[in-house]
Structure 1
Amino acid sequence: MTTTTTRIDWRAVDSDHRRRFEATLAGDAPDGTLATSAWQHFPGLEYDTEALSSAIAAQVLKHDFGWLKINPRGIYYGEVWGAVYDDSDYGGGEVPRLVSPAWTTVDDLAGVVALPDSPVLAEQVELQAQLRRLLPDRPLVYTVFSPLSVLLQGLGLPLYVGHPAFGPTPTLRIDELWAADPAVLHSALGAITDTLVDFVGRLREAGADGIFYAVTGTANPALSADEGWFAEFSTPYDQRVLHAASGGVRVLHTCGPHSHPERFVNWPVEVLHWDSFAAGNPGLADLPGVVAGGVDHRIFDGDHDDEIAAQTDAARAAFGERRFLLAPTCTVVSGGLSDGSLDLLAAASGANRDGR
């Protein structure tokens, strides 16, 4: 596969979308409008970069979204190290069925090495490059999972509370993982981090404005009660990837209920994003700095449009003159997705909606 690596400076193409996005990051509100976006998965298209990039770009242009979190298939990280998925079987959900994980035992982790030349990562870089060509005037941030999240995915362990991987039951329990020799875990996490650091640079060369950095492991109840594991097995590796992405936009997403977004207030990121409607999480306006969200990602099925309007109004009221990025609180579920609901979200960005 030939990958396009011509770097496109995210500030090089002037547009209202870029100016609004940059103004938000700077804390300015020149016209009262909001930079708005939404994103979903496209089961059935995710292994074809041309089909996927065309579908994503068409949705952005149809609803005139002002920025984009690029959503590749959510399991590409495990595939880098050899996890196998059945791309013909999504089970009616958002990810294909896991056939076999990358690793099954702690002993397997001792053999994890950096794989910057993975063809799976080359495919992701090509997807980024294609979307840059299709959307030259939009800020684009590419989804990158944290090294800890990649480790969990590679073992077939749940990334989200109450959501086991679609496929075989893992042979290793998460409590057994944390009881393993820390040196083995650090070695594996280091190799994963080396791979992601290189990957982030290649995404920037392919025209990414930055990364959407997903820290999913924080929502695991076996972990979240203990800050020590996070400080040891997540933070140092997160910092390496985030520093590698410096010079671009870093949107940090902490996923699910009890996801502790307050942990990240002073981290080297430009934007925080979390599910402000999930249990144990603060409200959208409760944390300082630039944040993204405002609308529950579960209500875009066409039956909750009044609720979408009420939530966008409530977010505007809570922030006053403070700017934020208007978006769903997580990936919008593609099954039953309503174009009208997305149009309503996009319309909410305008300063003059309903006479304002």
Structure 2
Amino acid sequence: MNRQDRFRAAVAGEPLDWVPRTCWAHYMTETLGGAEHARRHIVYQDEYDWDILKVVNDFHYPFPENVETIRGPADMERFRRADMSEYLFAEELDCLRILRAHYGPDLPIVFTTFDPWRQIVRRAGMASIPVLKAHREETLRMLRAVGDSMCTFMGALRDAGCDGIFFSVNSGNQPGSPLYADDETYATFMRDFEIEMLEAMEGMVRFIHVHGAPVSLERFTDYPVDVFSVSDWLKGNPTLAELRDATGKAVIGGIDESRIADMTPDELRAQIADTLASHDRGLILSPGCTIPIWTPAHLLRILADTGA
């Protein structure tokens, strides 16, 4: 099997010669542009030779000029559908094109992104959430502009040679989490926009990462996705086996991202062995979420060498 064959077989739950693996960290490249973003991914990929190159999202959604956060309806009303020449989109697309040209067609490339609600909150700050909820119609118009922009971006990523989208959402967080969304907030501001983005990803492999802990999967049973992801070692979250049983889909994970930087080699090898022993197919081996950038190289080599 080549890497694309292995990737597609894992997603489809078909027999594998070995389980594909990947791992990712953030590189703080937002102000450095797409070419530097690509260069840092290439250094990391070439060092560890992952089966799948997962491109992290270190860029933020482009707010209108002089809008630094969301303080009220006046800020919301300034949002319009964004052009792909905006910095976020142009630089990320430049990164994708550089990576595809560098590696050719054989290496699967998966891009990371977020739903429209998270795109806003991620840049505006958590304190903006009550403001968004208090101005329903203005918030919906803003989310429509962001959602339309993100759907266009999904098509542009596909055209740039992207194989899959790792779609991170916070709408599965349960009460007690600062990111918890009650049923009304979810139904009003999240669900439709999330599904629209997933539909715009058609033709690429669709991963959904239900971010946070503890999370519930109830809201995602009818989402058009191919692979499920949670931080499967975090308290209150389903294990990978439970995730696969609940969704009937392929899963990605198996390594505790909250502890990997402090593990002994034997601890990491034991986690890898336990994960591989419990999944005969339909698995991509990885941490449950982003690892600390300071994770020691000798541990990453253990994870990267698993399939060799």
What's the TM-score once normalised by structure 2's chain length? Answer: 0.89
Q: Given the alignment, which residue of 68, 85, 97 partners 1:129? A: 97
RMSD: 2.2
Structure 2 distance, partners of 1:340, 1:265, is 38
Q: Secondary structure at the match of 1:38?
A: coil
Question: If each structure's helix is expressed as a fraction of its own residues, which one has the higher value?
Answer: 2
Alignment partner, residue 69 of structure 1: 54
Q: Secondary structure at the match of 2:214?
A: coil
**Residue-by-residue CA offset, 1:76-111 (whole Å, 9 max, x unaligned):** 22xx11489xxxxxxxxxxxxxxx834222432133
Question: CA 1:302–1:133 in 2, change beyond 3 Å: closer, same or farther?
Answer: farther
**What count of residue pairs does the alignment treat as equivalent?**
300
Alignment partner, residue 186 of structure 2: 230
**How much does 1:254 deviate?**
1.5
- Note if 1:146 corresponds to 2:104: no
Structure 1 distance, partners of 2:195, 2:14, is 27
**How much does 1:44 deviate?**
5.6
- Note if 1:347 corresponds to 2:305: yes
Question: CA 1:135–1:298 in 2, change beyond 3 Å: closer, same or farther?
Answer: farther
Q: Is the 8 A contact 1:219 1:259 kept in 2?
A: yes
Question: CA 1:65–1:286 in 2, change beyond 3 Å: closer, same or farther?
Answer: same
Structure 2 distance, partners of 1:133, 1:120, is 20
Structure 1 distance, partners of 2:220, 2:238, is 13
**How much does 1:348 deviate?**
2.1
Alignment partner, residue 165 of structure 2: 211
Q: Which runs of 5 or more residues in structure 2 are unaligned? A: none
Structure 1 distance, partners of 2:290, 2:296, is 14
Q: Is the 8 A contact 2:71 2:131 kept in 1?
A: no
Q: Given the alignment, which residue of 296, 299, 303 partners 1:338? A: 296
Q: Given the alignment, which residue of 13, 33, 52 partners 2:37? A: 52
Letter in 2 for 1:111: R
Question: CA 1:29–1:265 in 2, change beyond 3 Å: closer, same or farther?
Answer: farther
- Note if 1:322 corresponds to 2:281: yes
What's the TM-score once normalised by structure 1's chain length? Answer: 0.78
Structure 2 distance, partners of 1:223, 1:256, is 8
Structure 1 distance, partners of 2:65, 2:285, is 35
Q: Is the 8 A contact 1:39 1:332 kept in 2?
A: yes
Letter in 2 for 1:41: H
Alignment partner, residue 132 of structure 2: 177
Q: Given the alignment, which residue of 273, 284, 297 partners 2:229? A: 273
Alignment partner, residue 41 of structure 1: 26
Alignment partner, residue 239 of structure 1: 195
Q: Secondary structure at the match of 2:168?
A: strand
**Residue-by-residue CA offset, 1:277-313 (whole Å, 9 max, x unaligned):** 1222111111221010000112333643222211111
**How much does 1:324 deviate?**
0.4
**How much does 1:61 deviate?**
2.3
